Amino acid sequence: MSSNNAFKVIIVGGGPVGLTAAHSLSQAKLDFVVLERRAKIVEDAGSNLVLLPIGLRVLGQLGMLPTIESVSSPMSRFRRIDHDGRDLGDTLWFTHFKENHGAYPRVISRHDLMQTLHDGLPAEAQAKLLPGKKVIDVSSGPEGVSVTCADGTSYTGTVLVGADGAHSRVRDLMRTAALQAPTTTEDKVNEAEPFLTTYRAMWVRFPTVPPIKAGDASETHGKNCTLQLFAGEDTSVIGVYERMEKPTREGVRYNQADEDKFIERWGHLPIVEGGLTIKDAYVNRTQAGMVNLEEGVVKNWSWDRIVLVGDAAHKFTPSTGAGCNNGIVDVVALANELYHAFKAIRASDPEAFPTREQVLAAFDGYQLARFDTVKAGLAGASQATGAATWADATHKFVDRHILSRQSLQKFFSTRNAPALARTPVFEYVTGEEQMVGKFPWAHPIKPPSS
């Protein structure tokens, strides 16, 4: 894509997915602005994230893999115990990722990932990251899109990318605009509350102390509650997932009293063998919080010049670590579709820009490319959380007697590997292929000489 500021992208949401979108546009030499409601782009807050090979490969293509590796820890296996601390058998999914796709998954703090994404942008791109911008209104029309913020500022562009998370304001405003348009059919209007919540979660960050060591990953399974531990060099994070009394589509904000009650219910559970409990971690916490774990896939990912990526379009439970990675790949798929639109129109006119119709076609192509993969990811995460919380007798049996068999772990990993190997990378960004495993990537990174 050649340089020209007549095509401008407004990105709402400055999290990992939003900043990945900023990188994709900076690489394409397209103008953009990122509007983030928080006071800072990089904050020392939030839980840890797991970067799978499909996400690491994209970040490596953007030149950030060495930094990522310096601030993250590789994981080779999950140690599993039950609520009484009894061994359930290790899982080697991460080892099979390394064998099949050339890299172990890595655990990284949200802060360190955000810092890496921020610092990896050139200075002129960093200047386009605007914190303190709470979006209150959006309008989309034949000539472009306009965004109004609570501080009275407004921004105009060609397209709007909603990367603002599960509680997306852009998604809500997109739905309102669709309802108000006289030609909109019912199938083009999303549900007001597209996600269902079956689990709530507490996350706790605490110092890494024996018997925990950097790189450890552990799970505790049992009736109605499971936890995951990810240990870094200095701090570790646990995510504790509790099955709710009944599913809900209503949002909730948790407070200190809710945290206290949660610890009363589950504080006795062991994090690892050796006696360290959830309550021990919570008492020594440096940060903690509670959230609902929404699940679902939005029916329509775009309307007119507005398009959704990441958690704004689909939300998983964290059990498989797939959420952030799928958001990164969303950005790749969307950027590639826009690249195709530019390439097609500039074959005859090097200064031309995609028409509205071509942009909308690119949005449709993006959803088509990603929808089935995301639905499968949702199902996989839901099944993993159901098994770990022993949702019923079948889930308990599978968790205790099927998933514990390492021969079956290898079988399932091998069966799923071809689909993962089809994950795209940016078609217009050159680089070296840094991850090579048993299964060749269907979409190789374009070498610098080509």
pLDDT in the model for residue 424: 98
> What is the C-alpha to C-alpha distance for residues 400 and 390, in angstroms, rounded to an integer?
9
Q: How confident is the model at residue 2 (pLDDT cuts 50, 70, 90)?
A: very low
Cα dist from 4 to 11, 30, 47, 162, 350, whole Å = 18, 6, 38, 23, 11
What Rg do the C-alpha atoms of the chain give, in angstroms? 22
Q: Each residue of 154-203: pLDDT tens digit?
A: 999 999 999 999 999 999 999 999 999 888 888 899 999 999 999 999 99
Burial 87-124 (b: 16+ CB within 10 A, else e): ebbbbbbbbbbbbbbbbbbbbbbbebbbbbbbebbeee
Taking every pair of C-alpha atoms in the chain, what is the biggest distance, in angstroms?
69
Q: Each residue of 237-261: pLDDT tens digit?
A: 999 999 999 999 998 999 999 999 9
Q: Are 269 and 227 in contact (CB under 8 A)?
A: yes
Could you give the domains of the chain?
4-193+296-421 (3.50.50.60)
β-strand partners of 140: 145
Tally Cβ neighbours within 10 Å of residue 207.
12
Q: Each residue of 105-142: pLDDT tens digit?
A: 999 999 999 999 999 999 999 999 999 999 999 999 88
Least confident of 40-49, 96-105, 234-243: 40-49
pLDDT in the model for residue 177: 94
Give the relative orientation of helices 323-345 and 356-388 as an angle to the nearest 10 degrees.
160
Tokens of 92: 């080697």
Exposed, middle or buried, 184 (CB in 10 Å: 0-12/13-18/19+)?
middle
> What is the C-alpha to C-alpha distance for residues 363 and 304, in angstroms, rounded to an integer?
9
Least confident of 36-50, 153-167, 199-213, 322-336: 36-50
Q: How confident is the model at residue 3 (pLDDT cuts 50, 70, 90)?
A: very low
Tokens of 309: 């990526």
For residue 382, is pLDDT > 90?
yes
Cα dist from 407 to 66, 93, 219, 386, 437, whole Å = 33, 11, 20, 22, 19
Tokens of 190: 């999303």
Which residue type occupies 448? P
Tally Cβ neighbours within 10 Å of residue 255.
9
Q: Each residue of 272-310: pLDDT tens digit?
A: 988 799 999 999 999 999 999 999 999 999 999 999 999
Question: Which bin fits 274, alpha (ψ -120 to 50), beta or left (φ > 0)?
Answer: left
Tally Cβ neighbours within 10 Å of residue 166.
22
- Of 72, 71, 78, 76, nearest in space to 103 by CA: 76
pLDDT in the model for residue 6: 86
Q: What is the mean pLDDT of residues 386-400?
A: 95
Q: Are 240 and 202 in contact (CB under 8 A)?
A: yes
pLDDT in the model for residue 5: 61
pLDDT in the model for residue 450: 56
CA 377, 381, 386, 387 dihedral sign is positive
Distance of CA 191 to the CA centre of its chain: 21
> What is the C-alpha to C-alpha distance for residues 400 and 408, in angstroms, rounded to an integer?
13
Average per-residue pLDDT for the chain = 95
Q: What is the mean pLDDT of residues 358-365?
A: 98
Tokens of 89: 């058998």
For residue 90, is pLDDT > 50?
yes
Q: Are 158 and 33 in contact (CB under 8 A)?
A: no
CA 182, 184, 186, 190 dihedral sign is negative
Contacts of 72 (CB under 8 A, 6+ apart): 51, 106, 107, 108, 112, 232
The rounded percent of the chain whose pLDDT value lies above 90 is 89
